[in-house]
Structure 1
């Protein structure tokens, strides 16, 4: 079970603008500790690990991991669209517009982003009560 995820960044102000644009709307709360960001769900359920945004511990510049992606579950397809737009407006880059992907299940609705440092983020919904790709 994942307890927390950390991404390294070089510009904390840009990172806070980007991550707060969607994580706060997903129910995460932000705590700034020594200038670094800690996002957590209230009550800290193991279902929702903490998400940290920090400068790299070794003092070297942050770089994005090739093949690394962090996915956040949204409550609906509309929320995926809205959060994707908010994150792009907050300095993120579109890496895949909201929609269905042929290689995933019929209800997997997803959008992809890059944060200002190049880290890949997915926002998805897979609610079987919403219209699916084939419906």
Structure 2
């Protein structure tokens, strides 16, 4: 089981603006720890954390953060409209488009996805595979 995912960034304020544009809408709560950011889904007292958590941090070694080639984190939205809305909000908050929301021929008929990069260049996917919505073929 994956416990957490971490992205390194050089500018926490820019990253916070970007991630605040869509993660709270998906239910994530932000916490700060020693200047870095952590995002987790809420849990009731006495319950185990919902994994994975998502961390945005300055690199521990003090070197510049770099985006991993082939590295991406995907966040699931409730429906296609939410994918479009969150993609637009993240772009407005400093993101860079890396693939407008839509269906992709390489994926299943209900997989609707938009891609973007955070201000550091880390790749994010926002997707919905809601079977109650019209798919690519319908």
- Give the TM-score normalised by structure 2: 0.95
Q: Does 1:78 align with 2:104?
A: no
Matched pairs, number: 133
What is the SS of the residue equivalent to 1:15?
Answer: helix
Alignment match of 2:50 (pick from 45, 54, 72):
45
What is the SS of the residue equivalent to 1:98?
Answer: strand
The C-alpha deviation readout for 1:89-111, integer Å capped at 9, x for no partner, is 00000000000000100000000
Name the counterpart of 1:59.
62
What is the SS of the residue equivalent to 2:113?
Answer: strand
Moved over 6 A (4+): none
Q: CA deviation at 1:35?
A: 0.9
Name the counterpart of 1:36.
36
Name the counterpart of 1:95.
98
- Give the TM-score normalised by structure 1: 0.97
* Aligned 8 A contact 2:116 2:123 in 1: yes
Structure 2 gaps, min length 5: 44-48
CA distance in 1, matches of 2:33, 2:21: 19
The C-alpha deviation readout for 1:53-98, integer Å capped at 9, x for no partner, is 0000111000000010110000100100000000000000000000
